[in-house]
Amino acid sequence: MQPPKSEPSPAPALREIQRQFATGIMRPLTREQTMHPEWIDGRPSAEAVGGFIKPNDRLSSIERLEIYNRQYWYRLLDCFYEDFPGLRTLIGDKPFSAMAEAYLTKYRSRSFTLRDLGQDLGKFLEEEPQWAGKHAPLAHDLVRLEWAHIVAFDSEMLPPVDLDELLGQGPETLRLGIQPHLTLLTCDYPVDTYLLATRRREEPQGGASHAMAEQRKKKSARKVPRPREEKVWLAIHRHENSVYYKRLEPAAHALLAQLREGKTLAQACEAAAVLGDETFGEKLKEWFTQWASFGWFVRPN
Amino acid sequence: MPANRFNNFTDYGIGIGLRVPHYQHILSRKPSCDWFEIISENFMVDGGRPLQVLDQILEQYRVVQHGVALYLGSTDGVDQEHLRRLKRLVKRTNTPWLSDHLCWGSIDGSYSHDLLPLPYTFEAARHVAQRIREVRDFLEVPILVENVSSYAEFHASEMTEWEFLSEVVEKADAGILLDVNNIYVSSQNHGFNPYDYLDNIPHDRVGQMHIAGHSKFEKYILDTHDNPVLDPVWKMYAHATKAIGPTATLLEWDDRIPSFDEVHNEALKAGRFCQELVRATSEV
């Protein structure tokens, strides 16, 4: 059975009210954590909001909508705060909040789950690198790693293939898929060690929102040294429900990338061998044995 | 014997929300608990620890699904991917019923991740009822809709909140997840008598109840789920239980979460109301 249709409902008055409500709550708060005094059409917000929200004996129309305006931003920023501890540590709490607000204004959530909230952050930082200042290249690497961590945490794990079963197939025709939870990254900075250091200083999740605000100040006082430029090749994956950042040799990384692109084993090896040294042939068996033990190989699409 | 067709799960007793800080305690100690309510969206993933924990819980306990992102009142089209994932989870948990909120939360493809209030209009009631029917037909599981806490009212409203809830569930032929704490919070924020609400909804459609704590601010009350149930809410719960009959009840505790035992003991207070009611009824 198919789900119901995805067209908007014919309830025009309701839709108009929802548009006005969303306009109000999705605009950033002022520095004083109040609703923006001017509506998007230039009218005073009090006048615009008073047109659809009733006041009561304690709160004006705008104060009532402001409760939702605050909840919207506090919820999204808290989620962002937990999802990108590395970037927050790198650029600092205040710049991070400003950057998150700019990102969430430009890229509103398009998914039912908060898990996907940061999916366009890498793209955003490429478009607007000024938010990371002089650390833009490092921030770019870090955000890609932090998103890969989220992907590795709860993405699908397909049944791994048994390499022995495929031995009869020649390398010229053999294709192997790679687990959906595995992301391959090439980074200009050793962001894996940096992120592990920032995660180590984080408390476990599940705390209260007020308590969280107090923790933020304490943690900011403890700096994590910024890494120097050094190229690293990473596989971010899940094994026995834990997420790992595994460093790879450039040739190994290229080999996996080629297989993921759908190349045959022979083509992938040929392309990767260019990056390897004289031990490439010996290492191949070792790599495949290890990757198979992690369950990285699956049947290709 | 069940009181009615929407309340035929009375033997479910008292449950608590399954939350991350309690995972280890539940899995290692296997404490007694009538049932757990899960937030559906937390488990609508493709793999990893969330599903592993859920499967372990399902081996030992009954689980009921409660959603926070169906947005039955949103005028955007149905999120088909959301529904497909939800149906997959329904098959996994075998939930006897599924609940979500009488609210909206997305517009023009943008998600607020909040439970936003609806104007109480006949147009909105028709829209939500139609959406509930579509969702139920696809998911093939009974749907209960929950009243939300609210902080704003609309000029456009044509009826009270309890009249709106009644209109929706009658039109959709759906059940009610009656959140007693939410009624109290909204009654204080909007100045209505919460007992008028409790007395004027179709009792025969209440399939589950929620109780929770809230926080008082100078000019309004927030539904924070971060402390024990307060006395006025317990009094309302007793009143509702008397009117509706013993009903599957769940304590929500979502922030500043204490130990499993503390949460469970708070929830079990609700069980005592039900037991006293049963005793009083049998003595008559």
- Which residue carries 């599981």 as its tokens? B141
Taking 50 as the pLDDT cut, the residues of chain B under it are 1-2
Summarised one tens digit per residue, pLDDT across range A203-239 is 554 433 333 333 444 445 457 899 999 999 999 999 9
Within 8 A of A110 by CB-CB distance, chain B residues are 109-111
Residue A173: φ, ψ to 5°: -115, -15
0.90 surpassed by complex ipTM: yes
User: What pLDDT sits at residue A162?
Assistant: 86
What does the alpha-carbon distance between residue A220 and residue A85 come to, in Å, rounded to a whole number? 11
User: What pLDDT sits at residue B10?
Assistant: 62
Query: Among residues 118-137 of chain B, which lie with CB inside 8 Å of chain A?
Result: 118-119, 121, 123-124, 126-127, 130-131, 134-135, 137
User: Residue B139 in contact with residue B98, Cβ under 8 Å?
Assistant: yes
What mean pLDDT comes out for the span A126-134? 95
Summarised one tens digit per residue, pLDDT across range A240-297 is 999 999 999 999 999 999 999 999 999 999 999 999 899 999 999 999 999 999 999 9
User: What pLDDT sits at residue B278?
Assistant: 65
Query: What's the Cα-to-Cα distance from A298 to each of A93, A162, A165, B44, B202, rounded to whole Å?
Result: 41, 9, 12, 23, 54
Of B75, B113, B121, the CB nearest to A75: B113
Provide the 3-class DSSP secondary structure of residue A132: helix
**Angle at Cα B28 formed by Cα B25 and Cα B31, nearest 5°?**
65
Helix axes B260-283, B231-244, angle to 10 degrees: 40
pLDDT over 70 (residue A92): yes
A53/B154 touch (CB, cutoff 8 Å), yes or no? yes
Query: Among residues 23-62 of chain A, which lie with CB inside 8 Å of chain B?
Result: 25-26, 51-54, 56-59, 61
- Which residue carries 């049944």 as its tokens? A159
What does the alpha-carbon distance between residue B105 and residue B110 come to, in Å, rounded to a whole number? 9
Within 8 A of A17 by CB-CB distance, chain B residues are 119, 154, 156
User: What pLDDT sits at residue A215?
Assistant: 42
CB pairs A-B closer than 8 Å: 172
**Mutation site, B46, B111, B130, B224, interface A, largest A CB count within 10 A:** B111
- Beta carbons within 10 angstroms of residue A30's beta carbon: 10
Within 8 A of A22 by CB-CB distance, chain B residues are 107-108, 110, 112
- Which residue carries 């209960």 as its tokens? B144
Residue in B closest to A207 by C-alpha? B256
User: What pLDDT sits at residue A204?
Assistant: 54
Alpha helices (H) along chain A = 12-25, 45-50, 61-83, 85-91, 93-106, 121-127, 136-154, 191-200, 209-220, 250-260, 265-273, 280-293
B127/A157 touch (CB, cutoff 8 Å), yes or no? no
Asked if B69 is an interface residue toward chain A (Cβ–Cβ < 8 A), one would say yes
What mean pLDDT comes out for the span A111-132? 96
User: What pLDDT sits at residue A221?
Assistant: 44
Q: Please, what is the average pLDDT of chain A?
A: 91
Domain B10-283: assigned CATH number: 3.20.20.150
Asked if A266 is an interface residue toward chain B (Cβ–Cβ < 8 A), one would say no
pLDDT over 70 (residue A44): yes
Domain residue extents for chain A: 13-79, 84-152+196-226, 155-190+229-301
pLDDT over 90 (residue A163): no
Domain residue extents for chain B: 10-283
Fold of A155-190+229-301: Outer Surface Protein A; domain 3 (3.90.930)
Summarised one tens digit per residue, pLDDT across range A105-120 is 999 999 999 999 999 9
Mind telling me how many Å the CA of A107 is from chain B's nearest CA? Answer: 9
Of A7, A68, A241, the CB nearest to B116: A68
Summarised one tens digit per residue, pLDDT across range B223-262 is 999 889 999 999 999 999 999 988 999 999 988 999 999 9
B84/A3 touch (CB, cutoff 8 Å), yes or no? yes
Query: Among residues 139-178 of chain A, which lie with CB inside 8 Å of chain B?
Result: 153-157
Could you give the count of Cα atoms lying within 13 Å of B188 in the half-sphere of its Cβ?
18
Summarised one tens digit per residue, pLDDT across range A54-73 is 999 999 999 999 999 999 99
Supply the DSSP string of B192-233, one letter for each residue.
Answer: --HHHHHHTS-GGGEEEEEEE--EE-SS-EE----SPPPHHH
